[in-house]
Amino acid sequence: MTVTSGKRRVGRRGFMTAVGVAGAASALPGPSSAAEKSSPPPRAPRGAPGPSIGQIDAETKVPASLPMAGTLSAGADFMVDVLKSLKLPYIFANPGSSFRGLQESVINYGNNRDPEFLTCMHEESSVAMAHGYAKAAGVPAAVFVHGTVGTQHASMALYNAWCDRVPVIAVLGNTVNAATRRPNIDWVHSAQDPAAIIRDFTKWDDQPASLQHFAESMVRAYKLTMTSPMGPVAIVADADLQEMGLHDRGPLTIPKYTPNVPPQGDSGAVREVARLLVAAERPVIVADRLARTPAGLTRLVELAELLNVPIVDQGNRPNFPNMHYLSQSAQARQLINKADVILGLELANFWGMVNEYIDNAEHTTSSKVTKGVKLISIGVQDLFIRSNYQDFERFNAVDLSIAGDGEATLPALIEAVKSELSAGRQSVVAARGDAFRKSHAAAFEKARVDATYAWDASPISTARLAMELWQQIKTEDWVMVSPTSVPWTRRLWNFDRHYRLVGNSGGEGIGYGLPASVGAAVAHKPYGRLCVNIQKDGDFMYANGALWTAAHHRIPLLSVMYNNRAYHQETMHLQRMAARWDRGIDRTHIGTTITDPFIDYAKIAQGMGVWAEGPITDPNALAPALRRAIQVVKSGLPALVDVVTQPR
Ligand SMILES: Cc1ncc(C[n+]2csc(CCOP(=O)(O)OP(=O)(O)O)c2C)c(N)n1
């Protein structure tokens, strides 16, 4: 079947809708890594050339699918056409009557595709799925959220997306008119200002009072969520507007979406950065939320190789291939200590990079850097900031601060470095390559040897878990869709391509890992990639309904439980407190461990229709179980292997 939306026909193409959104994709540079080119996607890829102006105009005219005068349609049908004009691929949502009109229009009028409604079991999961999806796909998805209660549930996950600078479009159901609210539930689920509780950590929100207003605000919301610094937005979909009859489409129009070109650093200042980097003897680049697209990684590699400058990668974005000899995160401390120039690219916590903080009663701090070091920042963090939530980290004075998008500024910086590099400097720069090759090889070898310690231990060592998994996936086209909670992966796996890494939650709000992995796996499904989620047990128990979503929608995803039977991070905090007051640590398991009874994660997964094995305590049983699970995942389904592990 097809639905007709304006002049554009959208064909049924199985479960997944296009990952690439023409309008949004035109904001992104074309796929630039060999990796992206070598595995052509079955559908419109990220970074595909955007539509021509003519195409955009054709697609943003009032859809012909809206009824002509005299035919009855719903206001929500027009809203769905607005979502379609933005090519929103999915709606992650738990149902709620405050958006019943919209949901009905999505599934019937919109034929449940582009966007497709994916059933979630908690609003926090809906948002985390959209968060993971957006990072993996490069374009946002929408979440529908049920009134006051759904918004409260969604709020922590929106905070994670805010801190992580990730686009998410939240559509909040509400009935603003007291005279039309259904008695009882409609009242308790409605608000005068529904977005108030999430306003501090969304870029923008609006409560449109008409369908035309809805169209304009939704397009504005899309534009803002995708403008660097990216972040979640919220639009209230008033129930009266959703449920009103529409006899005549009249003058309703949907504005066209034109992506903002991201702000680039000032050219004079960029030349100064190039001059400092070229002249430096011991420069270091720290990359944080830098790579928004595959081009981010390619450009950083080019810059690093031009200067033979070591890269310290914070692991929040796929900035740099970890097996490249200039990937020097393992030497971060020594490099920062000795550096004469430090360039932070979209570095959220510059202070933490150049200062030592000791978590003792005195809160001891000391500088890590050499006197006279030049600190440079390129990033968008100062372009958008809010007062209340403190995710902007401690203030750090720098010598040169450029408010511009890091990835967008890299081409100019690369050109400036090329023109600054005299033959003499080129040979100095070339000479430092060998030392980095050696230190990279030494760090790898050390990690390899360290990983063998307690190889046969039970509970299973986290190194063994990581390496048994690597053994099975390294010949596949794999993606780490979860946060990289086991550091061995970034030490010993080969993150050679942009899409291998999806990154962390941003706000460290637990309950993110599983749903975000499911969302990212949705984005990778059309590429046939093997998506791997190393799943912490504490995180799992916040939002495990996400597994059902994976089972129901046939989302292939391998979840390997990192089951240390504890909220171990918190165990360590309690130990620190107990040690500080010299009270012994023998009671610090109270309130921080997940024992008595042990949780049977395989049973939970099976109960939701997911293939599962475990708990596995014998390290030799791990490889065969992973092999079986991978076969299930390759058949297009989710699978879970519960592995009982060492705490860290
Ligand atoms: C919503 C939320 N609640 C509580 C915390 C505090 N917290 C930080 S780490 C952690 C433990 C998480 O346990 P798990 O996911 O199993 O990871 P582990 O520390 O055991 O490796 C908790 C509860 C948090 N960050 N977010």
Ligand 1 contacts CB of residue 567 (under 6 A): yes
* Distance from residue 534's CA to the centre of ligand 1 (Å): 15
* Distance from residue 219's CA to the centre of ligand 1 (Å): 37
Q: Say whether 451-644 and 267-448 share the same fold.
A: yes
Please say whether the dihedral angle defined by the alpha carbons of residues 4, 6, 8 and 14, taken in this order, is positive or negative: negative
pLDDT at 294 over 90: yes
Mean pLDDT of 145-149: 98
Considering the segment(s) 267-448 as one domain, its CATH architecture is 3-Layer(aba) Sandwich (3.40)
More confident residue, 193 or 70: 193
DSSP string spanning 6-20? TTEEEE--SSPPPS-
Per-residue pLDDT tens digits for 47-66: 333 334 444 444 455 566 66
pLDDT at 45 over 60: no
* Distance from residue 423's CA to the centre of ligand 1 (Å): 52
Least confident of 18-22, 254-258, 496-500: 18-22
Q: What is the pLDDT of residue 249?
A: 82
For the chain, the domains span 72-246, 267-448, 451-644
pLDDT at 18 over 70: no
Give domain 72-246's CATH superfamily: Thiamin diphosphate (ThDP)-binding fold, Pyr/PP domains (3.40.50.970)
Q: What is the pLDDT of residue 64?
A: 61
Per-residue pLDDT tens digits for 515-524: 999 999 999 9
Per-residue pLDDT tens digits for 477-487: 999 999 998 99
Report residue 621 as tokens. 């049983």
Please say whether the dihedral angle defined by the alpha carbons of residues 91, 93, 99 and 100, taken in this order, is positive or negative: positive
pLDDT at 19 over 80: no
Ligand 1 contacts CB of residue 592 (under 6 A): no
Ligand 1 contacts CB of residue 539 (under 6 A): yes
Q: What is the pLDDT of residue 534?
A: 98
Ligand 1 contacts CB of residue 536 (under 6 A): yes
Select from 570, 571, 572, 648 the residue to mutate for testing ligand 1; criterion: most ligand atoms less than 8 Å from CB: 570
Residue 12, beta-bridge partner list: none
Q: What's the mean pLDDT when you consider all of the chain?
A: 91
* Distance from residue 161's CA to the centre of ligand 1 (Å): 17
User: Atom 21 in ligand 1: which residue has the minimum CA distance?
Assistant: 568
pLDDT at 298 over 70: yes
Mean pLDDT of 489-517: 97
Mean pLDDT of 402-424: 98
Q: What are the backbone dihedrals phi and psi of residue 200, each rounded to the nearest 5 degrees, phi first?
A: -70, -20
Q: What is the pLDDT of residue 41?
A: 34
Q: What is the Cα–Cα distance from 480 to 496, expressed in whole angstroms?
A: 12
Ligand 1 contacts CB of residue 507 (under 6 A): no
By C-alpha distance, which of 146, 113, 108, 111 is closest to 127? 146
* Distance from residue 146's CA to the centre of ligand 1 (Å): 27
Ligand 1 contacts CB of residue 538 (under 6 A): yes
Burial readout 328-367 (b: 16 or more C-beta within 10 A, e: otherwise): bbbbbeebbbebbbbbbbbbbbbeebbbeeeeeeeeeeee
Running DSSP on this structure, what letter comes out for residue 398? Answer: -
Cβ–Cβ under 8 Å, residues 555 and 524: no
User: Atom 11 in ligand 1: which residue has the minimum CA distance?
Assistant: 567
* Distance from residue 156's CA to the centre of ligand 1 (Å): 14
Ligand 1 contacts CB of residue 240 (under 6 A): no
Q: What is the pLDDT of residue 68?
A: 56
Nearest atom of ligand 1 to the alpha carbon of 571: 19
Ligand 1 contacts CB of residue 565 (under 6 A): no
pLDDT at 21 over 80: no
Q: Which fold has domain 451-644?
A: Rossmann fold (3.40.50)
